[in-house]
A and B are shown apart, each in its own frame.
Chain A
Amino acid sequence: MKETSMKAVSVQQILLFVLSFVLVFSLFCWSLVTGATEVFTAEQQATSLQPLKGTFSQSKNIKPLKRPFKSEGSFVYFPNKGLLWHTKKPVDSLKLFAHDGVYKIDEQGALQKEAQLDNDFFLALFSANEQKLAKFFTTEVLQSEGGVQVICLALTPISDTMRSLFKQVNLCMSEVNVGTKIPNKIELIEEKGNNTEILLQLSSAKVSPRELAYFD
């Protein structure tokens, strides 16, 4: 009888131990997993908020013009802050697309607000963020160009004003870091048949302090 009760106690103790072990182990694993996620998200966010630098080439096919108008230059995209667009050829011009408007930057580095449409939509295109894009466009996924890393979207403007400007915008983007997408091709198709194709390429060149200063 005693032996039986002793056996019963030890079985209970073993069960209790096993349960405690499973619980503690699960908690440990969960904390490890979540900790890793937190570390991963922070790292990803830090990467995605870093300014990105690259080059572009733009080709405009405008019906009344005899030949396409081509231009090229460099850009700095600072997520959540804006886009610095430096056209080098055929004309040298520097513009900052900020959330509160478009600024022309003169040779002395002074910012002059331009009286024109502020091209908020262009910042949305650069963000390649579906939520931001949805403010301006309805989205349709196109067949991928250049492999699985490249996703192409056909964007149709929502507002009357945007519709009067563009019939459709095609946006192709690729993932540069985990969770960070950047457009590598933007095609703006106008109602009258004119179109603008912009090809973008990230470069390894570092963003200069002077360039960064424009975002402040």
Chain B
Amino acid sequence: MIKSFIKGLTSLLNSLSNKSYIALWLLMVVTSSVILLMKLNTTEQQYNAGLLAALEINLPEHQAAIALGQNYQNKLLLLVGHTNLEQAATMASEIRARLQDKSWLASIYSNPLNSKQLQQLVAYYGSSPFSYLANSQKETLRTALKNNQTQTITDDYFSLLNQWADPIVSQSLEKDVTLTLATFLKERLLTNAQGDTHWHFSQQELMLKGDDFSYIPVFISIKPAYVNIRDSVAIYQELQRIKVDYTHPSAEQNNASEVLMTGMILHSAAASLQAQSEISLFGLFSLVGVMLIILLAFRAITPLIACLAVIGSALLVGIVALMLWFDSIHLLAFVFAVSILGIAVDYGFHILVLRQHTQESAKGIRSIVFLPLTIALVSTIAGYSLFFTTPINLLHQVVVFVGFGLVGAYLSALLLLPSIRFSNMGTSFAVLPKQHFAYLFIAILVFITSISRLNFDDNIGNLNTKSSLLVQEEQKVAKLTGENVYPYMVLITGNSQDSLLQESQQLTKNLRTQGAVLKSITDWQLPQAEQQKNIALVRANWQSDHYRDITPYLDDNAIESALAKAKPIALLPTFIAQNMGVDIQKVSDQYWTALLLNAPLSELQNLSVAQSPNASYVNLPVALSKQLGEVRSNVLQVALPAILVILVILSLYFGFTSALIMLLVPTVSAGLALVFSQLFQASLNIFNVLACLLIITLAIDYVVFFRAHGVTKLISHTVSLSAVSSALTFGVMSFSATPAVSSFGLTLLIGISLAWLLSHLTPLTYLNKL
């Protein structure tokens, strides 16, 4: 049935004229170009980078952890260091002035007490200044009620008023003359910020003291609309220029300075720059390599132009499909997709070699290549499609790009290439060694004996690329500030914001009692009932006349009228998130928040978290690594049925025994590729395993060609050309700085080389006699 279907298709193709073929090809190219132009004009394509963006996150708690971590996406911290503190302050001031007018800037400041942030906090909490109380003041008010004494309340008020230079007092006085708000903000901004960290004030500046330098911070927030790949790269480059301008190594010891930078967006930008550079470099290298191979093989310009048309069509169709299918494209997808150059050009080789070495007509050539090319296309797409079973978004994008790209290449090759005419003989890539089953047997033996030694490590951290310079700076900043750049998270969930805040408040209190240093949303947002309690506490003290020593300084009925207006302030977690980095997010119809800890939980703290009904400690990297490990183990379960399907298809055409031997060549090559990859890598990962799936689908073509057309110089030449071009385009990936890409490329390079070798050494043409 399959044979008759293929025959029918071949005769349909052969019934068309040469002009019709070119018209069809042009139709495909023009349609794709029009769609691409329309897409580019109507919407701006979003791009992302970084391995986290490459994964599909399914569990709500993981989605919540990522959503809550987004607050860090638009925050940057620059530490401006100089041997002289005043110089550091001047440099920080210059840097602030230099960035002040940037369109992407949401806020920039060095001193939280001299910033818009303080004004915004005073405005928000000033709407009902008794709703939020400092812990110390709450204690004072409770004690005052209990012992019926006013002295501490009076002393605290006068002490605060007595200070010479207190921006919190002077800014909040207009909103609250009782200084309740000032006391709250002072405790939250100064005591909490200091905690166990190393921040302190010197010469009116918030600063850090290092071994060689005094550092002035520059806190930067980026507008959310600008947290995308294109803008983050521009921001990263701008900051790099600042870094260069203000970093002066210790040539003159007294005038040395440095600028340290931290922020998640910098990693995305660095990864993006790395990916962009690899796309251009690998793309260029592969293209030049493939062009050289074509020139060597055919020694004529026409085949080169024809192959470039096939490659160009593949890229065009692939990009159009990718842009239509996905809203946001991962840049690493393009790095992986460079491989399409090597596979697409194979289709050209198969036809052009026939044209070069036979006198067949265009129709004849089309009839000969139609079956092997279709099998090659279907098997490669089937192989890539297995990536859809993984939770790796990046690979889904690679499948769509390569899958559709190969359809474009397949159609272009079939429509254009059989009619091309050239006479040069070119260089032969044919190799015909003595074939024997012993080679396949030895390969199987080596694979079986080595398989137990394979060492896998699924740690997601090992797959990601991180700029070593940025990591070093992060470590330096963490040491200086005494704070972790990436905090440990305890996630809490609730049906409403209020219930979530209640549970968070209790757990925050418990963990702090047990010595945890953490940031909590409840430092800034309180449940309505809690705010009401605070107002009631102030009211009770006022009713007991505990403010009597203060009232002579205030307008008549000032406290009374403030109390009359007092009511719980509406929750505004987004505002707090922008300023403080602690947030509430809604994921899967539940509200989520995270306590951000400076250190991993102790045993006792773990117990507290376990006792809190809706709280859990989330270590996202560990959870995702575990998920990747499961995917790796599941790949076999997916691959096995796929291999069986290929076996059935091949059996239908070539018979079961032939099909089995034919399948052994790519399967053993893939297995051995893993064994040999282990020699170059400390440990193997999921990308090495996924490469094996591709090796099988690519190498199937080699054995199909040998089996279908016999072991001839011509077929060896075609297979060798195909293997060299694929090995070149995949091999170039092994030089990638991203371990995920380099692991993939290395295994494919080894696997394709082995498959080429084994397909030449295994006596496939004698299989009919078996």
Residues of A within 8 A of B (CB): 58, 60, 62-67, 69, 71, 87, 90-93, 101, 115-122, 135-136, 159-162, 164-166, 188, 190, 192, 194, 196
The residue that B204 contacts in the complex, of A65, A93, A120, A196, with Cβ under 8 A, is A120
Distance of A131 from chain B, by nearest CB (Å): 13
Would you list 29 pairs from A and B whose C-beta atoms are within 8 A, ordered by A residue?
A60-B161, A62-B173, A63-B174, A64-B173, A64-B177, A64-B555, A66-B553, A66-B554, A69-B161, A69-B162, A71-B158, A93-B159, A116-B166, A116-B190, A117-B167, A117-B201, A117-B204, A118-B202, A119-B164, A122-B164, A136-B203, A136-B204, A159-B93, A160-B93, A161-B113, A161-B114, A164-B113, A164-B167, A192-B170
CB distance from B80 to the nearest CB of A (A): 14
Q: Count B interface residues, CB 8 Å.
A: 36
How far apart are B633's CB and chain A's nearest CB, in angstroms?
Answer: 53
Q: Is B530 an interface residue (CB 8 A)?
A: no
CB nearest neighbor in B for A101: B200
CB proximity of B452 to chain A, nearest CB, Å: 60
* A194 engages B158 (CB within 8 Å): no
Chain A contacts for B554, CB-based, 8 A: 65-66
Residues on B lying within 8 angstroms of A by beta carbon are 86, 89, 93, 111, 113-114, 154-155, 158-159, 161-167, 170, 173-174, 177, 186, 190-191, 194, 200-205, 549, 552-555
Residue numbers in A under 8 Å from B113 (CB-CB): 117, 161, 164
Query: B640 to chain A: closest CB distance in Å?
Result: 64
Q: Is the CB of A166 within 8 A of B165?
A: yes
Bound: A136/B86 CA distance, A = 10
- Whether the Cβ atoms of A135 and B170 lie closer than 8 Å is no
Complex-state Cα separation, A108 to B113, whole angstroms? 32
Q: Given A60-B161, A194-B170, are A120 and B553 neighbors across the interface (CB < 8 Å)?
A: no
Distance (whole angstroms) from the CB of B172 to the closest CB of chain A: 10
Taking CB atoms, residues of chain B closer than 8 Å to A192 are 170, 174
Whether A58 and B552, one on each chain, are in contact in the complex, defined by CB atoms closer than 8 angstroms, is: no
By a CB distance below 8 angstroms, the chain B residues around A60 are 161-162
Q: Which residues of B contact A65 (CB under 8 A)?
A: 173, 177, 553-554
Query: Do the beta carbons of B194 and A159 come within 8 Å of each other?
Result: no
Nearest CB of chain A from residue B355's CB, rounded to whole Å: 75
Whether the pair B163, A91 counts as a contact (CB closer than 8 A) is: no
The residue from A62, A91, A136, A160 contacting B158, defined by CB atoms under 8 A apart: A91
Chain B contacts of A118 at CB under 8 A?
A: 200-204
Taking a contact as CB atoms under 8 Å apart, the answer to whether B190 and A64 are in contact is: no
Name the distance in Å between A103's Cβ and chain B's nearest Cβ.
13
Q: A90 — nearest CB in chain B belongs to which residue?
A: B158
B726 to chain A, nearest CB (A): 61
Question: Closest CB-CB distance, A78 to chain B, in whole Å?
Answer: 19
Known: A66-B553, A117-B204, A159-B89. A190 touches B170 (CB 8 A): yes
A66 lies within 8 A of B552 (CB): yes
Would you call A91 and B170 a contact (CB within 8 A)? Answer: no
How many angstroms between the C-alpha atoms of A190 and B174 in the bound complex? 14
B158, B164, B170, B205 — which one has the most chain A CB atoms within 10 A of its CB?
A: B164
Least CB distance, B279 to chain A, in whole angstroms: 44
A40–B552 Cα distance when bound, in Å, is 54
Q: Residue among B86, B165, B200, B549 with the most chain A CB within 10 A?
A: B165
Does B162 contact A159, Cβ atoms closer than 8 Å?
Answer: no
Closest to A163 in B: B114
Taking the closest CB of chain B, its distance from the CB of A82, in whole angstroms, is 15
| A62 vs B201: C-alpha distance when bound (angstroms) | 25
B194/A115 in contact, CB under 8 A: yes
Residues on B with C-beta less than 8 A from A166 are: 165
In the complex, what residue of chain A is closest to B551 when comparing beta carbons? A66
Of A63, A118, A161, A192, the most chain B CB neighbours within 10 A belong to A161
Q: Give, as a whole number of angstroms, the nearest-CB distance from A124 to chain B.
A: 9
- What residues on A are CB-neighbors of B173 within 8 Å? 62-65
- Please indicate the chain B residues that have their CB under 8 angstroms from the CB of A159 in the complex: 89, 93, 203-205
Q: Which residues of A contact B174 (CB under 8 A)?
A: 63-64, 192
Q: Which residues of A contact B549 (CB under 8 A)?
A: 90
- A188 touches which one: B154, B164, B201, B203 (CB < 8 A)? B164
Give min CB distance, B120 to chain A, whole Å.
Answer: 15
**Are A93 and B162 in contact, CB atoms less than 8 angstroms apart?**
yes
- B-chain residues with CB within 8 Å of residue A162 when the two chains form the complex: 204
Q: How far is the CB of B115 from chain A (nearest CB, A)?
A: 9
CB distance from A38 to the nearest CB of B (A): 31
Interface centre among A135, A136, A164, A166 (most CB of B within 10 A): A164
Q: Evaluate contact between B158 and A121: CB separation under 8 angstroms.
A: no
Specify which chain A residues have a CB less than 8 angstroms from the CB of B167 in the assembled complex.
117, 164-165
Contact partner, A91, options B154, B165, B205, Cβ 8 Å: B154
Which A residues are CB-close (under 8 A) to B203?
118, 120-121, 135-136, 159
**In angstroms, how far is the closest chain B Cβ from the Cβ of A62?**
6
Known interface pairs A64-B174, A115-B194, A117-B204; A165-B162 also in contact (CB < 8 Å): no
Please state if A91 and B86 are interface contacts (CB–CB under 8 Å).
Answer: no
- Tell me, in angstroms, the Cα distance from A145 to B17 when the chains sit together: 109
Is A161 in contact with B553, judged by CB distance below 8 angstroms?
Answer: no
* Residue numbers in A under 8 Å from B190 (CB-CB): 115-116
Contact B111 A91 (CB under 8 A): no
| Closest chain B CB from A123 CB (angstroms) | 10
User: When the two chains form the complex, which single residue of B89, B165, B191 contacts A117, counting CB atoms closer than 8 Å?
Assistant: B165
Residues of B within 8 A of A87 (CB): 162
Contacting pair B552 A117 (CB below 8 A): no
Q: What 6 A-B pairs have minimum CB-CB distances, sorted nearest first?
A: A91-B158, A115-B190, A161-B204, A164-B114, A161-B114, A65-B553
Chain A nearest CB, measured from B218 CB (Å): 12
- In the complex, besides A116-B201, A119-B164, A165-B204, 8 extra interface pairs with C-beta distance below 8 angstroms are A64-B173, A71-B162, A93-B155, A116-B186, A117-B204, A120-B202, A166-B165, A188-B165
B contact residues around A196 at 8 Å (CB):
164
Pairwise interchain contact A165-B170, C-beta atoms closer than 8 A = yes
Smallest Cβ distance from A92 to chain B, in angstroms?
Answer: 8
Q: How far is the CA of A159 from the CA of B89 in the complex (A)?
A: 8
Assess the B205–A161 pair: CB atoms within 8 A: yes
B93 proximity list for chain A (CB < 8 A): 159-160
- Per the bound structure, the CA–CA distance linking A69 and B173 in Å amounts to 14
The interface residues of chain A lying within 8 Å CB-to-CB of B165 are 117, 119, 121-122, 165-166, 188
